[in-house]
Chains A and B, each alone.
Chain A
């Protein structure tokens, strides 16, 4: 079955950005039932870019995946709710088989974007392609290939685990013995084997979240959208979910993850986008983001201990003051160490600059809600 989109494009290898313009005709077939041809669509295709364009170099598991095809491509997507502009011209591209993390403070528009990509919500403007299709106008087709883990855990509380999953399957047109076997296997995947008959009300928070993931995988999705999947979970559950997500990513399933846990994004994603007030303000690999926006090391110390230390800063260092904490960014860790010992700062800690530092630098350290 010709499921993957086939595009003929003329790529310009000198192009630095990931946006290419289709030249001539673009045809694709899907499930033999639908076929379109469209002329000159601006699309974020990646053919012609170096194969490691979006890859973490150390990630071997992605070798052999088709980097030329794109799972999600948004161009200038806008979404308004009354006077509030939730998304203000967001453009991003997620290659197939990769994990993309959308970071942002609460209210940044992460969920709105995840809903638009999942064909749940309609964009007010912009061009969008998910798995080669227009998600809003072909929502049934697109949604049948997406697995969705939402923030709200929606189950039929009166029914047991098995029944909940069976009903979910029916919405996808899936039923029968093979599907029941699939349910069993997916429950085993999230370590809920043998819980088929358990009432939903008897499940713990972590079990419910794992069940959400099992349910989202029942239709063998090509794209898995997870909206803050680990919020409110204990570290054990979080790590076991991450293990599951890494397995999925290694199986070539494209994962879109929204989170405000920076650690989660750094752990799982090959590419991170930072969304702030409806705009994508930065996008790169986790390492790339740190490299672009901050020096490699940071010294974090208590301002109250020695505010005067900042009167003699290091040449070339970036200083940030936030509340009672001081941050001194510099590439050379040993210079920072020396500075700390010169000033006798006992509260100081020299560490690698993290994605969290970038996040806070870009989105601000004050509460904006």
Chain B
């Protein structure tokens, strides 16, 4: 059907006046802008997004730590009951999975489907800014969710040391390390389905056999050293230092684990950012 009245003529728009010129944003402003973008988008559906990240470790703690733990009489690591032993691993895995999901599935979706980076790269942001901002965002999520789980563990009476106030910091560093590792994986992945290998074959054994469910000393002799060499052992010992105190560490030298973890976070973080920079091809 033709319209009853003749169509309106095309309006000639007037361009608003130019603003005073500004300096291009510096590194800190660019990286924090990326961080803020992720914060805004994420917080839009905060409850839906945060529920699995916080609820799953708490359910695991309730079912295995408190549930199965009732049948375990043994003392762990110089006098810890089973739930208190497991608390450190729960915090570590919370931070790990938060960061790993964000920097694998999240990053890949932004890269491949939402084209978020394609939009960002047309602004003054460099490729490095984009992934530094994203790394910091993963760290922030790790800090936030490990703290939330930490509060619940504290309420359950599983936190025995005042150093627990540093849980957000440990959560941040852990998340940065695993976000960096996940970036490296993401940079090689061509289909989103390939992440299944990473989660099932790499991260799950890493969490289960690195001193979360049982002490690494109970592993067969060879595997014990493998477990100690893996990053998750250092994460768990760092959290154990904060939640239970230095007298409950698995090995006497485990006070060095936070430092190892920091080195890992920096190394893996840099490697991940560099790999993703290359993936977002120029």
B75 interface contact, C-beta 8 A:
no
Contacting B at CB under 8 A, from A177-215, are 178-179, 182, 185-186, 188-191
The residues of B that contact A33 with a CB separation of less than 8 Å are 23
Q: Are B124 and A174 in contact (CB under 8 A)?
A: no
Taken together as a complex, chains A and B put the C-alpha atoms of A239 and B13 apart, in Å, by: 12
Who on chain A is nearest to B119 by CB? Answer: A154
The residues of A that contact B22 with a CB separation of less than 8 Å are 172-174
Q: Are B14 and A247 in contact (CB under 8 A)?
A: yes
B96 interface contact, C-beta 8 A:
no
Taken together as a complex, chains A and B put the C-alpha atoms of A186 and B14 apart, in Å, by: 9
B202 interface contact, C-beta 8 A:
no
Task: Say how far A119's CB is from chain B's closest CB, in angstroms.
Answer: 9
Who on chain B is nearest to A138 by CB? Answer: B24
B37 interface contact, C-beta 8 A:
yes
Q: Tell me which of B51-59, B83-91, B110-118, B150-158 binds A.
A: B110-118
* Contact A240/B37 with A120-B122, A139-B126, A140-B25 known, Cβ cut-off 8 Å: no
B196 interface contact, C-beta 8 A:
no
The residues of A that contact B30 with a CB separation of less than 8 Å are 140, 171, 173
The residues of B that contact A189 with a CB separation of less than 8 Å are 13-16
The residues of A that contact B23 with a CB separation of less than 8 Å are 31, 33, 173
Q: Are A167 and B36 in contact (CB under 8 A)?
A: yes
Contacting A at CB under 8 A, from B97-123, are 114-116, 118-123
For the residues of B in contact with A, the DSSP-based class is loop
Taken together as a complex, chains A and B put the C-alpha atoms of A244 and B122 apart, in Å, by: 21
Which of A33, A156, A179, A243 has most chain B Cβ within 10 Å? A156
B29 interface contact, C-beta 8 A:
yes
Who on chain A is nearest to B116 by CB? Answer: A154
Q: Are B123 and A186 in contact (CB under 8 A)?
A: no
Who on chain A is nearest to B19 by CB? Answer: A220
The residues of B that contact A122 with a CB separation of less than 8 Å are 282
The residues of B that contact A287 with a CB separation of less than 8 Å are none
Who on chain A is nearest to B125 by CB? Answer: A171
Q: Tell me which of A144-152, A288-296, A320-328 binds B.
A: A144-152
Who on chain B is nearest to A210 by CB? Answer: B13
Task: Say how far B116's CB is from chain A's closest CB, in angstroms.
Answer: 7
* Contact A156/B25 with A150-B119, A191-B13, A247-B15 known, Cβ cut-off 8 Å: no
B33 interface contact, C-beta 8 A:
yes
Q: Are A167 and B282 in contact (CB under 8 A)?
A: no
* Contact A154/B115 with A167-B36, A178-B19, A220-B19 known, Cβ cut-off 8 Å: yes
The residues of B that contact A172 with a CB separation of less than 8 Å are 22, 24-25, 123-124
Q: Are B41 and A171 in contact (CB under 8 A)?
A: no
Taken together as a complex, chains A and B put the C-alpha atoms of A159 and B37 apart, in Å, by: 10
A157 interface contact, C-beta 8 A:
yes
Q: Are B21 and A3 in contact (CB under 8 A)?
A: yes
- A contact residues, total (Cβ < 8 Å): 50
The residues of A that contact B74 with a CB separation of less than 8 Å are none
Taken together as a complex, chains A and B put the C-alpha atoms of A182 and B41 apart, in Å, by: 23
Q: Are A247 and B13 in contact (CB under 8 A)?
A: yes
The residues of B that contact A110 with a CB separation of less than 8 Å are none
Taken together as a complex, chains A and B put the C-alpha atoms of A172 and B41 apart, in Å, by: 18
Out of A1, A158, A240, which one reaches B45, CB within 8 Å?
A158
B47 interface contact, C-beta 8 A:
no
* Contact A152/B123 with A159-B44, A191-B13, A247-B15 known, Cβ cut-off 8 Å: no
Q: Are A240 and B123 in contact (CB under 8 A)?
A: no
A18 interface contact, C-beta 8 A:
no
Taken together as a complex, chains A and B put the C-alpha atoms of A33 and B23 apart, in Å, by: 9
Q: Are B123 and A143 in contact (CB under 8 A)?
A: yes
A141 interface contact, C-beta 8 A:
yes
The residues of A that contact B11 with a CB separation of less than 8 Å are 191, 240, 243
Which of B12, B26, B121 has most chain A Cβ within 10 Å? B121
Contacting A at CB under 8 A, from B217-251, are none
Contacting B at CB under 8 A, from A113-166, are 118, 120-122, 139-141, 143-144, 146, 148, 150, 152, 154-159, 163
Task: Say how far B42's CB is from chain A's closest CB, in angstroms.
Answer: 9
The residues of B that contact A155 with a CB separation of less than 8 Å are 119
Who on chain B is nearest to A157 by CB? Answer: B114
Contacting A at CB under 8 A, from B1-29, are 7, 10-16, 18-19, 21-26, 29
The residues of B that contact A173 with a CB separation of less than 8 Å are 22-26, 29-30, 33, 124
Q: Are B13 and A148 in contact (CB under 8 A)?
A: no
Taken together as a complex, chains A and B put the C-alpha atoms of A156 and B39 apart, in Å, by: 12
Taken together as a complex, chains A and B put the C-alpha atoms of A170 and B133 apart, in Å, by: 13
Q: Are B118 and A152 in contact (CB under 8 A)?
A: yes
The residues of B that contact A186 with a CB separation of less than 8 Å are 16
Contact flags B40-68 to A (C-beta < 8 A → 1, else 0): 11001100000000000000000000000
Task: Say how far B93's CB is from chain A's closest CB, in angstroms.
Answer: 28
Task: Say how far B280's CB is from chain A's closest CB, in angstroms.
Answer: 10
- A selection of 19 A-B contacts at a CB cut-off of 8 Å is A120-B122, A120-B282, A140-B24, A141-B124, A143-B122, A146-B122, A156-B116, A163-B40, A170-B36, A171-B34, A171-B120, A171-B125, A173-B26, A173-B33, A174-B22, A182-B16, A188-B16, A191-B13, A243-B10
* Chain A residues within 8 Å of B, Cβ to Cβ: 1, 3, 31, 33, 118, 120-122, 139-141, 143-144, 146, 148, 150, 152, 154-159, 163, 167-168, 170-174, 178-179, 182, 185-186, 188-191, 217, 220, 236, 239-240, 243-244, 247-248, 251
Other A-B contacts than A154-B115, A172-B124, A220-B21, 20 sampled, CB-CB below 8 A, are: A140-B125, A141-B24, A143-B122, A154-B118, A154-B119, A156-B37, A156-B40, A158-B41, A163-B40, A170-B36, A171-B30, A173-B124, A174-B22, A186-B16, A191-B11, A220-B18, A240-B11, A243-B13, A247-B13, A251-B15
